[in-house]
């Protein structure tokens, strides 16, 4: 029997056994510190604990918090411990909601209490620390659905009941720690002691549970709230309160009651209203002649730019769209990463001097010839496309570096309007099972990559970490530079994306390192009812990733 041991996906060692042994015994003498391993992934397919007994040749991937999948386990386990601590402090009457990610944490609110104060945050932190120091076991148990319903009825968890009643027929997996029970669709660590660091920061009207980051997995201090992004989240949350939609079960209810079409029209109208407000505000200031649009991958930047152009025209402006990618340096001058690959996401892969020269000339009323980048040959070529600014013209440029002042350093601030766009999803499975913003963007990208670039879901998932690393370096540090912010998330979109992504995700082979991620996304989508594309307006941002848009890409 051969055991292929890997650490966070990297080859570590090969062990040959004469008989089956638990993972804990197999790893003795391997040099792997089991206290750092949150879970063990077997043959890319399932997560197990160290007591698991391989029955044949097996790939054992030791997952730590430094791995993207391990980091999710860490976050969810910390939320589980937080929920258990609040249950101890407040009993069953309260309602905890893990709402959305913010900076290095997740924003949470506690309802059905008079007020959750700074002192309450201190008590919560102390109780969480007590639970962690106690190193309590977290057991994953399979129970009959009827038993799970009884458990969560007694805990007044109506949010969980809505989900399991409609989604699970015979049995359901729940997590237990002492006398506390909870439901999570993703795996948790086996013990509370795996959570080595966390923090609780009071933030009206709730608090932020912070997670450690970096190679050392430590909390970076002090906490800096991204005020503009947080305000955007809060604005969207208030609207969802009005619509009474926060969990997937609420969207499913609208779908089943034939009310989804009206909901979609209202939500899309909100998008259009926000875009129109941004356009009108920009046009009011005659000094602004350059609009810069930036945001992470699959946020819908291109469709947003096109819809903004329409609204600018409705306000009697005449937009000129310039492609940032056409200002790439020739391939032989492109900077490289540490591993030798071209770093196309670096701001220094753009010919900054030439870009600033042309923008300055254009804004000064001179005629310029826009460049055209030949991606096949990796060189910039002439386009014979000449443009000149007239009185009502305004330039729109979209790309990942739009909020970085280095990109347009030659253009005075008073002549620029910066717009940050991101899909800030606030839909949850239930109160404790949030859907990360990155999941919606990844699903969008899987569909678009397949339809327009011929990539498989496996290829897109495999590349996603590099995409995310680039965002952390080149986009998120500059988001607070924005003059305007736009949330491109649509609460109903998972029901639409499901139909397009399902077969692509099923096609990921079980031998692939992307298999577990594909199955996690399938589990997420399985909670959503299909929503027919016919309900989606033809100018919707979602059409950028599916099909049928009125815009050309």
Radius of gyration of the chain (CA): 25
Whether residue 418 lies inside any domain: the answer is: yes
What phi and psi, each to the nearest 5 degrees, are found at residue 342?
Answer: -65, 140
| CATH number for the domain harbouring residue 43 | 3.10.20.740
Among all chains, which residue has been given the structure tokens 């990559």? 449
* 274 membership: H or E segment, kind and range: helix 260-284
One domain, residues 242 and 210? no
What pLDDT score was predicted for residue 243?
Answer: 81
One domain, residues 405 and 366? yes
Domain count, the chain: 3
One domain, residues 58 and 126? no
Residue 515 contacts by C-beta under 8 Å, 6 or more apart in sequence? Answer: 44, 45, 508, 509
Q: What span, in angstroms and rounded, lies between the C-alpha atoms of 263 and 255?
A: 9
- Full 3-state SS string of 302-369: HHHHHHHHHHHHHCCCEEEEEEHHHHECCHHHCCECCCCCECCCCHHHECHHHHHHHHHHHHCCCCEE
What pLDDT score was predicted for residue 29?
Answer: 85
What pLDDT score was predicted for residue 371?
Answer: 95
DSSP for residue 529: P
One domain, residues 391 and 414? yes
What pLDDT score was predicted for residue 443?
Answer: 98
Q: Of 360, 337, 358, whose CA–CA distance to 348 is shortest?
A: 337
Whether residue 304 lies inside any domain: the answer is: yes
Whether residue 202 lies inside any domain: the answer is: yes
Q: What span, in angstroms and rounded, lies between the C-alpha atoms of 43 and 50?
A: 15
- Bridge partner list, 93: none
Q: What span, in angstroms and rounded, lies between the C-alpha atoms of 203 and 79?
A: 17
Whether residue 399 lies inside any domain: the answer is: yes
One domain, residues 104 and 141? yes
Whether residue 308 lies inside any domain: the answer is: yes
Model confidence over 203-260: pLDDT tens digits?
Answer: 999 999 999 998 889 997 899 999 999 999 999 888 888 888 989 999 999 999 999 9
One domain, residues 405 and 478? yes
Q: Of 101, 430, 434, whose CA–CA distance to 247 is shortest?
A: 430
Whether residue 421 lies inside any domain: the answer is: yes
What pLDDT score was predicted for residue 553?
Answer: 83
Domain boundary among 179, 203, 225: 225
What pLDDT score was predicted for residue 456?
Answer: 97
| CATH number for the domain harbouring residue 173 | 3.30.980.10
Whether residue 549 lies inside any domain: the answer is: no
The string of DSSP letters for 253-270 reads HHHHTT-HHHHHHHHHHH
Neighbours of 417 (CB within 10 A): 22
pLDDT beneath 70: ranges in the chain:
none
Among all chains, which residue has been given the structure tokens 């003059």? 483
One domain, residues 95 and 47? no
Whether residue 169 lies inside any domain: the answer is: yes
Q: What span, in angstroms and rounded, lies between the C-alpha atoms of 431 and 109?
A: 10
What pLDDT score was predicted for residue 63?
Answer: 96
One domain, residues 208 and 320? no
Domain boundary among 160, 195, 225: 225
What pLDDT score was predicted for residue 203?
Answer: 96
Domain boundary among 22, 43, 64: 64
| CATH number for the domain harbouring residue 370 | 3.40.50.300
Q: What span, in angstroms and rounded, lies between the C-alpha atoms of 437 and 406?
A: 28
One domain, residues 36 and 84? no
What phi and psi, each to the nearest 5 degrees, are found at residue 38?
Answer: -75, -30
- Bridge partner list, 171: 144
One domain, residues 88 and 103? yes
One domain, residues 210 and 317? no
One domain, residues 234 and 366? yes
- For 430, the domain range is 230-544
What pLDDT score was predicted for residue 240?
Answer: 86
What pLDDT score was predicted for residue 168?
Answer: 84
């Amino acid at each position: 029997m051969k055991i292929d041991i890997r650490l966070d996906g990297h080859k570590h060692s090969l062990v040959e056994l004469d008989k089956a042994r638990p993972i804990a015994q197999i790893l003795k003498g391997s040099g792997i510190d089991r206290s750092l391993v949150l879970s063990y992934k077997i043959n890319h397919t399932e997560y197990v604990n160290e007591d698991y007994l391989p029955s044949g040749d097996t790939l054992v991937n030791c997952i730590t918090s430094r791995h993207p999948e391990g980091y999710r386990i860490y976050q969810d386990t910390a939320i589980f411990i937080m929920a258990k601590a609040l249950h101890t402090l407040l009993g069953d009457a309260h309602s905890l909601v893990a709402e959305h990610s913010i900076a290095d944490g997740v924003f949470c609110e506690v309802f059905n209490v008079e007020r959750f104060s700074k002192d309450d945050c201190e008590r919560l932190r102390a109780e969480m620390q007590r639970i962690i120091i106690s190193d309590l076991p977290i057991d994953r148990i399979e129970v009959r659905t009827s038993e799970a319903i009884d458990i969560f009825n007694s805990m007044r968890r109506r949010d969980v009941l809505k989900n399991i009643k409609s989604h699970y027929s015979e049995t359901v997996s729940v997590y237990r720690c002492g006398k506390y029970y909870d439901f999570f669709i993703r795996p948790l660590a086996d013990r509370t002691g795996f959570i080595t660091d966390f923090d609780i920061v009071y933030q009206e009207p709730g608090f932020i549970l912070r997670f450690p980051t970096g190679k050392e997995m430590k909390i970076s201090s002090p906490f800096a709230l991204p005020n503009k992004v947080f305000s955007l989240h809060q604005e969207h949350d208030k609207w969802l309160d009005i619509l009474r939609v926060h969990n997937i079960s609420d969207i499913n209810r609208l779908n089943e009651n034939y009310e989804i079409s009206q909901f979609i029209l209202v939500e899309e109208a909100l998008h259009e209203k926000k875009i129109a407000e941004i356009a009108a505000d920009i046009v009011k200031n005659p000094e602004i002649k350059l609009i810069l649009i930036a945001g992470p991958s699959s946020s819908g930047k291109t469709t947003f730019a096109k819809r903004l152009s329409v609204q600018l025209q409705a306000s009697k402006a005449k937009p000129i769209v310039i492609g940032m990618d056409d200002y790439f340096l020739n391939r032989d001058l492109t900077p490289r990463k540490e591993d030798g690959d071209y770093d196309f996401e670096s701001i220094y892969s753009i010919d900054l001097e030439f870009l600033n020269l042309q923008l300055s000339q254009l804004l000064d009323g001179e005629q310029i010839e826009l460049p055209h980048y030949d991606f096949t040959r990796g060189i910039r070529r002439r386009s014979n496309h000449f443009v000149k600014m007239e009185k009502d013209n305004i330039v729109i440029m979209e790309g990942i570096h739009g909020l970085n002042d280095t990109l347009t350093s030659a253009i005075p601030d008073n002549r620029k309007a910066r717009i940050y766009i991101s899909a800030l999803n606030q839909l949850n499975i239930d109160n404790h099972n949030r859907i990360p913003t990155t999941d919606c963007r990844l699903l969008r990208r899987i569909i678009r990559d397949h339809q327009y670039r011929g990539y498989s879901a496996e290829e897109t998932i495999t590349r996603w970490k590099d995409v995310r690393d680039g965002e952390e370096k080149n986009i998120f540090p500059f988001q607070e530079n924005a003059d305007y912010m736009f949330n491109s998330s649509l609460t109903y979109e998972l029901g639409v994306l499901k139909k397009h992504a399902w077969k692509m995700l099923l096609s990921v082979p079980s031998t692939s390192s992307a298999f577990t991620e594909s199955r996690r996304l399938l589990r997420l989508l399985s909670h959503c009812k299909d929503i027919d594309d016919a309900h989606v307006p033809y100018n919707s941002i979602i059409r950028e990733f599916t099909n049928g848009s009125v815009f050309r890409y």
